Amino acid sequence: MIKLRILAATDFHGSPNADSNLLRFLQRGYDYVILIGDLTNFGPVSLVESMLARLEATGVPILAVPGNCDPKPILEVLEKHQVNLHAKCMKIGGLTLVGFGGSNLTPFNTPFEFTETEIKEELTALTLGVDDNWILITHTPPYDTRVDRTEAGIHVGSKSVRQIIEQKQPLAALCGHVHEARNTDKIGRTLIVNPGPISRGYAAELVVENGVCAKLLET
């Protein structure tokens, strides 16, 4: 597998700071940028159109999943720009990426939510036959980790995402959703990374080469 340097960013929420922060990080040189959801704050999807246009001008390949605060028509925009990773498997440089956006159910009835059963069924189907060299990208973090704990100390991640990680052991799992839980963790061999919100100047760098390592970044 060739060496890959990947920039991971999440939780834009339509902030103009998010775009400028991401473009600043991209000046460091990356092979891919992965957007892990909440690109908007309940829309409009035109924000994503303009953001993707700016990112495409950098020449860095883009892949993205939606977040729970993104309206479902965002999928049409991501497909139009050929960057959609939601409910898909994709190979890059000998590495398989498995993506699933949205979140488990929240108390806030946000636009892009799934039951735990739906998440488990989708991820089980997506990960059939994946080899050892793969990374899971979900907006929602795995349950009961350092990356899904709110300021009140409550774990709000997905139990189904955690089960898939425990069973399938990807190299890494990238997530977002819980802004205050910017951190890394491990489940078995799997490195879990929540970069923190790009709107606040946070991101993460992954280097994949005979394994994976990650570094949390800030502007």
Residue pLDDT, tens place only, 52-65: 999 999 999 999 99
Whether pTM > 0.85 for this model: the answer is yes
* CATH number of the domain that residue 190 is part of: 3.60.21.10
Q: Residue 109 — very low, low, confident or very high, per pLDDT cuts 50/70/90? A: very high
Q: Is the pLDDT of residue 1 over 80?
A: no
If one counts the domains in the chain, the total is 1
Range of the domain at 34: 4-218
CB under 8 Å to 92, separation ≥6 — which residues? 4, 31, 32, 61, 63
DSSP state of 200: G
Residue pLDDT, tens place only, 137-174: 999 999 999 999 999 999 999 999 999 999 999 999 99
194 Ramachandran zone, left/alpha/beta (phi>0; psi -120 to 50): beta
DSSP E strands, 25-165 = 32-35, 62-64, 88-92, 95-100, 103-104, 113-114, 134-138
